[in-house]
Structure 1
Amino acid sequence: MDIVPEAREEGDMPASRWSSLRRTWRLHRRRIVLAVVGLVLLPYALIALYLIDFIRPVSTLMLRDLVLLRGYDRQWVEFDQIAPVLVQSVMMSEDGQFCIHDGVDWGQMRGVVEDALEGESTRGASTIPMQTVKNLFLWNGRSFVRKAMELPLAIVADFVWSKRRMMEIYLNVAEWGDGIYGIEAAARHHFGVSAAKLSRRQAALLAVSLPNPKERNAGKPGRGLKRLASLIERRASRSGGYITCLYD
């Protein structure tokens, strides 16, 4: 009797083919994992690189504007070329504990978590280091994923950079309007002066516009913005004890 080999079903695949596909998938999976790990670690490497004074970092929003062919206005200025009244105003408006925390204001953060757990509306608890690393490496918008990435980056940046370097980078990458980045471009755009020549009032207006610079126009402030600026102006005038890490 002749033995006829059993016909292979159309959907069957040789074992060697399956083995090849598994090897290919493992290779691609390894590459994907390495790429993800590389993206996660890249900001930490850049934090070390940005320790060098002559390197002038750009933000993710600036990179976006370049990719979209919009362009942007940013003129880097050294820390000593920025009016102290602007630095004082920004600290009093954004992060009064800047000189004493380690990148994260844990007291404020604890309050935000407690409010969230109780179902209450949460207040902002972002420090200047947190805002700086967000501007440099992450994206806008609220999300737990971004916040989870932001916290360790802020702690590492605060440990690696001096407080002066941190403030210098922050003030040179912060957004102050459509395509307006950094304090020099902001001062010239809104008031027609350099960052070194800002008055106390102008500095306060720029500081209080930072949370939402596209709706809060420092050069054309509304009544509410003027009230906030007056408050920050008074606080800045009494901020000597808060800025000892920046000025001897």
Structure 2
Amino acid sequence: MAQAARKRSFPLRILVLLFKALLWFLAITILWVVILRFVPVPITATMLMDEHGATRDWTSMGNIDRSMAVAAIAAEDGNFCLHNGFDFEAIEQAWEERQSGRRQRGGSSISQQTAKNVFLWQGGGWFRKGLEAYFTVLIELIWGKNRIMEVYLNVAETGIGTYGVEAGAQRYFGHDASRLSDLEAARMIAVFPAPQSRSPSGGWTSRYAGRIAARMRQVRASPLDDCI
């Protein structure tokens, strides 16, 4: 009888352990997100694994020219201020392009990219995607849009071994991020999808930046940047 009782209790013990592990995971990750709501992100997994080092200079949103955030919305996530972390229309469009074999555009929102860049690692896989969705929900609830944009602009890779718009502005334009022109902001954001292979002075990048700058005028004339 005692042996049978032990056998019956074994699955229960496993469930209790799993429940405790889940509670610890939730507590640690929520505390992590709360702390980073108020302090600069010290380093990310991408920076740690960068063989070229990680030149960066954390800059508050108030010291980043607004044109940089407008350029990010124009190029990366037009519905940033309107969605709750996931732009399902963009995700659906990206899926349709992949299925049809056309050029694949990213469906990740700025919030999703920020969650991945800060808390996770580069690369795919459903497990990492699941964690990305979890952290996206947390930062939307705890940080809010302005903080998400601030962190995004500070941890995004802006060149080989260069992270954040302040380090990028100093590298490419010789001045700080507080006085970026629309074209400079557009040229830097054009580098974001492929910072290892693109340069703001490249021919294709310059043409793409021109299109971004045109979209920036549309963003400013609409409510699309009201949250920053």
TM bracket (short chain): 0.7 to 0.9
The 2-side partners of 1:62 and 1:136 are apart by 10
The 1-side partners of 2:123 and 2:79 are apart by 24
Letter in structure 1 aligned against 2:35? L
Q: CA deviation at 1:129?
A: 0.6
Q: Secondary structure, in 3 states, of the residue corresponding to 2:49?
A: helix
Q: CA deviation at 1:47?
A: 1.2
Q: Does 1:45 align with 2:45?
A: no
Name which of 193, 197, 215 aligns with 1:215.
197
Aligned to 1:4: none
Q: Secondary structure, in 3 states, of the residue corresponding to 1:217?
A: coil
Aligned to 1:232: 212
Letter in structure 2 aligned against 1:224? W
The RMSD of aligned alpha carbons is 2.7
After superposition, give the CA deviation of every residue in 1:101-144 in whole Å (9 maximum; x if it has no partner): 0001012223334555x464543101111000100111112322
Q: CA deviation at 1:147?
A: 1.5
Report if the CA contact (8 A) 2:159-2:191 is conserved. no
Q: How many residues in Structure 1 have an aligned counterpart in Structure 2?
A: 212
Aligned to 1:155: 137
Q: Structure 1: any 5+ residue segments left out of the alignment?
A: 1-22
Which structure has more helix as a fraction of its residues? 2
Aligned to 1:63: 48
Aligned to 1:17: none
Report if the CA contact (8 A) 2:47-2:54 is conserved. yes
Report if the CA contact (8 A) 1:171-1:183 is conserved. yes
Q: Does 1:96 align with 2:96?
A: no
After superposition, give the CA deviation of every residue in 1:70-126 in whole Å (9 maximum; x if it has no partner): 64211111101111111111111111100000001012223334555x464543101
The 1-side partners of 2:208 and 2:100 are apart by 28
Give the TM-score of the pair, scaled to structure 2.
0.82
Aligned to 1:7: none
The 2-side partners of 1:95 and 1:134 are apart by 15
The 2-side partners of 1:64 and 1:162 are apart by 28
Report if the CA contact (8 A) 1:43-1:137 is conserved. no
The 2-side partners of 1:208 and 1:173 are apart by 16
Distance 1:142 1:100, change over 3 A: same
Letter in structure 2 aligned against 1:143? G
Q: Structure 2: any 5+ residue segments left out of the alignment?
A: 1-9
Q: CA deviation at 1:162?
A: 1.9
Q: Secondary structure, in 3 states, of the residue corresponding to 1:176?
A: strand
Q: CA deviation at 1:178?
A: 2.2
In our comparison, the structure showing a higher alpha carbon Rg is 1
